[in-house]
Amino acid sequence: MTKKRKEPEQRKPPIKPVKCIQLELFSDFVSNDKDTISNTVEFWESIPKYFFTPYQVEKLRTEKGHADPYEWSYTFNSIPCAVEIQPALIKQRDGGYKAFFPGVTEELVEEALKKILTDQQYGIHDPEQPETWVKFSLRMVAKELRDRGRTRSLDQIKHAIKVMSGCILTFYKDGKEIWQGSILQDLLTSDREEYLKDSNSLHAARLPLFISHAINQLEYRQFNYDRLMRCNDQLTRWIYKKLIHRYVNANHNNDYHFSYSSLERDSGLLQQGRATDNRKKVIKALKELASRDVLKEYVVEERKEGQKIIDIIYTVRPSFNFVREQKAANSRARDGLVKAGKKGTKPRQITLEQTP
């Protein structure tokens, strides 16, 4: 069991909103339908944290309902990384505590909160600290999920927020601890009783430092958030995000390829037990991406040694709409750099070694 660190003193958002070009640019999209667009931060979202299924969590729990932290190794830009996830211990009706790891609902709630963040009346970003806060109510999150076809009850959302603020992620690079924190940090409510009773009351939570740095350095990318939320399978959403960040030059004259081994290693979502079932899961995800108008076509090439499949290469070609959206994202990124320069802000590139 990893020794639990002493909780730091809870921070509070700035009393007055901080007007800054960074948050303005984060909220400024190149699209005719800005309601369907949001931002994705590759480095933060490359950390596998939402792959737990109810069955898997139940297996990790002890008889008392507790669970040890779970560690997953993966790579980012060919750099060996790992994340240790300490579950949230949430009090139950019988007075005992039960361990919960983040899963599908937490993933969707985070996407909804990041969309709410793009509305400047609900976002606070201090570029000097740097730190980023999002203000929200349970009903705001519920409406956002319902509008995207991912309806959750207020109790489910409340539980997800507890898990997101209670679980602790520890991120490692080359075996060295780089960062530790929760998905939602410093969750603030005006009154706990009010929070539990009034789903319209506004609350605030500080987002991870990776997101704050991305906003400062313009290291985020616009994407079709509505399409992402309507994807039914987690692996579909994971591959879609990967294509958004890596297939930036998508056009009808080039393709993009990735391997089964990289999906298995980096996503955490191919744990069906049998390799055959996992391979079927990838095909199901690719079919959904085609049905969601992300892909025009895909080709599957098995690499074998004798009769044994040692890897699979998936080659994809984009749909017309995906090409159009990627070009809009590229244009928005260029415009952002120009606007930041005119305001005297010069984003600098931050390497993984420099990331807190």
Q: What is the pLDDT of residues 309-324, one digit of tens each?
A: 999 999 999 999 999 9
Percentage, residues of the chain above pLDDT 90:
83
Question: Please, what CATH class does the domain formed by 235-320 belong to?
Answer: mainly alpha
Q: What is the pLDDT of residue 352?
A: 42
Comparison of pLDDT for 273 and 248, the residue scoring more: 248
Model confidence at 349: pLDDT above 60? no
Respond yes or no on whether the N-terminal peptide bond of residue 87 is cis (omega within 30° of 0).
Answer: no
Q: Give the confidence band of 129 by pLDDT, cuts at 50, 70, 90.
A: confident
Q: Which of 313, 314, 316 is nearest to 244 (CA)?
A: 316
Q: What is the pLDDT of residue 120?
A: 84
Domain ranges (residues) in the chain: 21-225, 235-320
Q: Give the confidence band of 343 by pLDDT, cuts at 50, 70, 90.
A: confident
Q: What is the pLDDT of residues 171-205, one digit of tens each?
A: 999 999 999 999 999 998 754 455 445 557 788 99
Q: What is the pLDDT of residue 356?
A: 41
**Cα-Cα-Cα-Cα dihedral sign, residues 65, 66, 68, 70:** positive
**Buried b or exposed e, range 230-263, using 16+ CB within 10 angstroms:** ebebbbbbbbbbbbbbebeebeeeebbebebeeb
What is the rounded distance in angstroms from the CA atom of residue 94 to the CA atom of residue 96?
6
Q: CB neighbours (10 Å) of residue 327?
A: 15
**Average of per-residue pLDDT across 249-257:** 95
Coil, strand, or helix at residue 318? strand
